[in-house]
């Protein structure tokens, strides 16, 4: 019984990270995004962001799930998260600081169980960095305003970009909006 529990736990953890990492390892991801040096779990992070808070301040603002994902670079379970299957028209914002990041116009069904997009609102909305955790190399996606972890980007998405921004629902806030009536360049920060 104890062995079965260990095997089941290992399978769940392995499935979480394999599911979002479908890109063949020999492909290199190139994004149009700004690439700040970001890693909240490493003390050498010296990148300055427009929004900077102490970890205590982040804990007071975010739920425990949001904090685990946005600030500790966590991952939520596939298929049981809020936005993976959403078809509602609107804008997705950073769950930590409210910066507009993606629209539903670039969201698509990737089959991974996480919300996936082929392009951010603008290349300056997000940043990327190399992530070598969990015995694999991936490209982490972070909010360019506060440096919070959003997910990862892979080079197996649809045209015209060929990219798949595989994000955590808990890292995002969503506001239903008619996209015909907005200019993505003039969207304001969503207050938390």
Domain count, the chain: 1
pLDDT of residue 19: 53
Domain that holds residue 79: 2-186
> What is the chain's pLDDT, residue by residue, as a tens digit (192 residues)?
554 544 444 455 445 444 555 443 333 333 333 333 333 333 334 578 999 999 999 999 999 999 999 999 999 999 999 999 999 999 999 999 999 999 999 999 999 999 999 999 999 999 999 999 888 999 999 999 999 999 999 999 999 999 999 999 999 999 999 999 888 888 999 887
Of 59, 45, 8, nearest to 127 (Cα)?
45
Pair 156, 23: CB distance under 8 Å: yes
Bridge partners (DSSP) listed for residue 127: 34, 142
pLDDT of residue 46: 57
pLDDT of residue 8: 47
At 55, give phi and psi (nearest 5°): -60, -35
Convert 66-125 into a string of H (helix), E (strand) and C (coil). HHHHHCCCCCCCCCCCCCCCCCCCEEEEECCCCCEEEEHHHEECCCCCCCEECCCCCCCC
- Hey, what are 78's tokens? 């596939």
Give just the sign of the alpha carbon dihedral 86, 174, 122, 80: negative
Is residue 46 in a domain? Answer: yes
Is residue 60 in a domain? Answer: yes
Model-level pTM?
0.79
pLDDT of residue 2: 53
Is residue 78 in a domain? Answer: yes
Question: What's the CA gap between 13 and 104, in Å, rounded?
Answer: 29
Is residue 72 in a domain? Answer: yes
Question: What's the CA gap between 100 and 9, in Å, rounded?
Answer: 36
At 133, give phi and psi (nearest 5°): -80, 160
Q: Which residues contact 189 (CB under 8 A, 6 or more apart)?
A: 93, 97, 98, 99, 100
Bridge partners (DSSP) listed for residue 131: 138
b vs e for 24-53, b when ≥16 Cβ sit within 10 Å of the residue's Cβ?
Answer: eeeeebebebeebebbbeeeeeeeebeeeb
Is residue 192 in a domain? Answer: no
Is residue 116 in a domain? Answer: yes
pLDDT of residue 71: 97
Is residue 191 in a domain? Answer: no
Can you give the C-alpha Rg of the chain in angstroms? 16
Q: What is the CATH number of the domain that holds 146?
A: 2.170.150.20
List, by residue number, the catalytic residues: 166
């Amino acid at each position: 019984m104890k062995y079965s529990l260990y095997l089941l736990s290992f399978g769940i953890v392995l499935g979480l990270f394999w599911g979002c990492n479908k890109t063949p390892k020999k492909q290199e991801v190139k994004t149009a995004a700004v690439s700040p040096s970001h890693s909240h779990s490493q003390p050498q992070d010296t990148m300055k962001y427009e929004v900077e808070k102490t970890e205590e301040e982040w804990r007071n603002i975010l739920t425990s799930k949001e904090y685990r994902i946005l600030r500790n670079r966590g991952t939520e379970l596939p298929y049981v998260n809020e936005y993976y299957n959403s078809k509602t028209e609107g804008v997705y914002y950073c769950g930590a600081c409210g910066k507009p990041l993606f629209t539903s116009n670039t969201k698509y069904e990737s089959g991974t169980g996480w919300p996936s997009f082929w392009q951010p609102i603008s290349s300056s909305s997000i940043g990327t960095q190399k992530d070598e955790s969990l015995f694999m190399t991936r490209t982490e996606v972070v909010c360019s305003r506060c440096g919070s972890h959003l997910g990862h980007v892979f080079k197996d998405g649809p045209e015209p970009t060929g990219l798949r921004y595989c994000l955590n629902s808990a890292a995002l806030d969503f506001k239903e909006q008619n996209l015909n009536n907005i200019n993505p360049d003039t969207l304001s920060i969503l207050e938390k």
